[in-house]
Amino acid sequence: MPLHRSTKIVATLGPASSTEAQIVALAQAGVNVFRLNASHGTQPEHALRYARIRAAEDRLGRPIGVLLDLQGPKLRVGTFAYGPVDLGIGDSFRLDLDRRPGDRKRVALPHPEVFASLEPGHDLLLNDGRIRLRVLACGADFAETEVIAGGTLSDRKGVNVPGTALALTALSEKDRSDLAFGLELGVDWIGLSFVQRPEDIEEARALIGDRAHVMTKIEKPAALPTLDRIIELSDAVMVARGDLGVELPPEDVPGLQKRIIRLSRAMGKPVIVATQMLESMIAEPTPTRAEASDVANAVYDGADAVMLSAESASGRYPVEAVAMMNRIVHKVERDPLYRRIMDAEHPHPEATAPDALTAAARQIAETISAAGIVTFTTTGSTTLRAARERPTVPILGLSARRETARRLSLAWGVHAVWTDDVQNFSEMVGRAASAATAAGIGRTGQPLVVTAGVPFGTPGMTNSLRVVTIDAEDEPPAAPAGAARQTETV
């Protein structure tokens, strides 16, 4: 991971980026987390990609996170008997459960849950929002509609129901199969699609347990009334602007993006901004200026990560897209305005000892110009608290659990390291100094701020803060006990 970049990069793998050499090249260009999109490709294809990610991880010597993004329920119309139909403004059009091929007067919508949720006056969006139908009359198995915005409709195009919470679970049968596959594989994050209510996350977590972390995709307007609770129940959040933009007016999405990022940061949950960030680089070697500004604005907003989808999965320039995103992020983070924004929006620490110590660690590190903040963590919570503070110095997240180090690769400003466990303070201090030197975060004579929990290995027990100075002996790979001077204990 480039140590001088705090905002992380997530890249989707696909036909353009599935060989081990390509995965290594993407990671070297700046990818911290790879996304496996369950909407495309087969389970054996994803298993092969996962194995190659782990081979690249071993080759590069740093933790790499893996996100399995579930498809979620997909609402689609049926087929047409004589090919695509043109719907004009003012036309009447019927949707029903009759599975016979449709015509320009009707088509099947094989989802009774949709009809159960409809009322006259509701709108339906078809074909990614290009066609808008208004419900005039409806029942348990039909909806008579008027075309408000026309267009061409063909087989199995998608359907959205804006402003309506559907009686659908977030996990389809395909999702359950993909979820079991991903957990067996060992992915670090499960991307949960179609979340409408907090209960959707609770249902998924009951199946996932502690085998992976839950990343909730905010893509349905129905989730917005309970957004605070949804973020609270999640381990991380994705702002899925593409789907949000179908059901919401485009002018609403930028403000909502900022709101979701702000809430996620306040709760200490990593947040990703996704969809169409460098879309033109699917076919072109450089992005538009508007796309570059879009990536930059997500970084200015304080997102933990920005994401590439088709740009890296099926585009012609996957490595170039990552390198471009890396350069944009790097440039923004060196703008004095960026630092002023981060400093102005520090969330208030909770009234707990771990939060108080972590806030103090940032203040001390900045006051003494420390080389970095070192956190020892079992579950990742200590390190995520440090990332929530958005310090001006790097965060070195050390964990004896490889899965924790991989999950921390998503967090803002964190250089995650998988290391042997420590048994006492002297060993902790030596390991911290050696790891910082090996990572290029610090050098001889520089101070480090170290936080940990005592007794060691106890989750959620951040209760110790020390300032240490790196000694000349702290050269990788050696990690001698007591290799750094302890200059202060809190």
Question: Model confidence over 320-342: pLDDT tens digits?
Answer: 999 999 999 999 999 999 999 99
Instruction: Quickly tell me which residue has 């803060």 as its tokens.
Output: 465
| Rounded Cα gap, residues 308 and 318, in angstroms | 9
Residues 247-259 pLDDT 10s? 888 899 999 999 9
Radius of gyration for the chain, computed over Cα atoms and rounded to the nearest angstrom? 24
At position 17, the amino acid (one-letter code) is S
Does the pLDDT at position 187 exceed 50? yes
CATH 3.40.1380.20 placement within the chain = 353-489
Q: How confident is the model at residue 349 (pLDDT cuts 50, 70, 90)?
A: confident
275 is catalytic: yes
SS3 category, 402: helix
Active-site pick, 74, 76, 174, 401: 76
pLDDT at 489: 35
Q: What is the mean pLDDT of residues 432-452?
A: 88
288 is catalytic: no
**CA–CA gap between residue 263 and residue 256 (Å, rounded):** 11
Instruction: Return the structure tokens found at 31.
Output: 């990818």
Of the candidates 145, 216, 275, 451, the residue annotated as catalytic is 275
363 vs 428, more confident? 363
Catalytically annotated residue among 35, 220, 269, 466: 35
Q: Where is average pLDDT lowest: 33-42, 369-378, 448-457?
A: 448-457
Cα separations in angstroms, 160 against 11, 466, 480, 487: 26, 54, 60, 60
Min mean pLDDT across 143-147, 331-335, 430-434 is at 430-434
Q: What is the pLDDT of residue 344?
A: 87
Residue 457 pLDDT class (50, 70, 90 cuts): low
**368-398 exposure pattern, b = at least 16 Cβ within 10 A, e = fewer:** eebbbbbbbbbbbbbbbbbbbbbbebbbbbb
What is the mean pLDDT of the segment spanning 279-302?
97
Residue type, 248: L
Q: Which fold does the domain 85-160 belong to in CATH?
A: M1 Pyruvate Kinase; Domain 3 (2.40.33)
Catalytic residue among 8, 52, 106, 217: 217
Segment 449-478 mean pLDDT? 74
Q: What is the pLDDT of residue 490?
A: 36
19 and 52 Cβ atoms separated by less than 8 Å: yes
CATH no. of 353-489:
3.40.1380.20
pLDDT in tens, 61-81: 999 999 999 999 989 999 999
Catalytic annotation present for 217: yes
Rounded Cα distance, 164 and 130, in Å: 18
**Mean pLDDT across 225-246:** 94
User: CATH 3.20.20.60 occupies which residues in the chain?
Assistant: 8-72+170-335
Q: Are 232 and 268 in contact (CB under 8 A)?
A: no
User: Is 455:461 a contact under the CB 8 Å cutoff?
Assistant: yes
Q: What mean pLDDT is predicted for residues 359-384?
A: 93
Query: So what's the pLDDT on residue 421?
Result: 79
Kindly state the average pLDDT of the residues 345-359.
84
Distances (CA, A) of 122 to 1, 115, 163, 483: 48, 11, 8, 68
The answer for residues whose C-beta is within 8 angstroms of residue 415's C-beta and 6 or more apart is 1, 3, 394, 395, 396, 397, 439, 441
**Which token pair is 256?**
């909502």
The model's pTM is 0.90
Across the range 22-29, mean pLDDT stands at 97
- Given strand 484-489, what is the order of strands in its sheet? 414-418, 395-399, 372-376, 447-453, 462-470, 484-489
Best CATH choice for the domain 8-72+170-335 from the list 3.20.20.60, 3.10.580.10, 3.10.690.10, 3.40.50.300: 3.20.20.60
Q: Do 132 and 125 form a contact (C-beta atoms < 8 A)?
A: yes
Where in the chain are all domains bearing CATH 2.40.33.10? 85-160
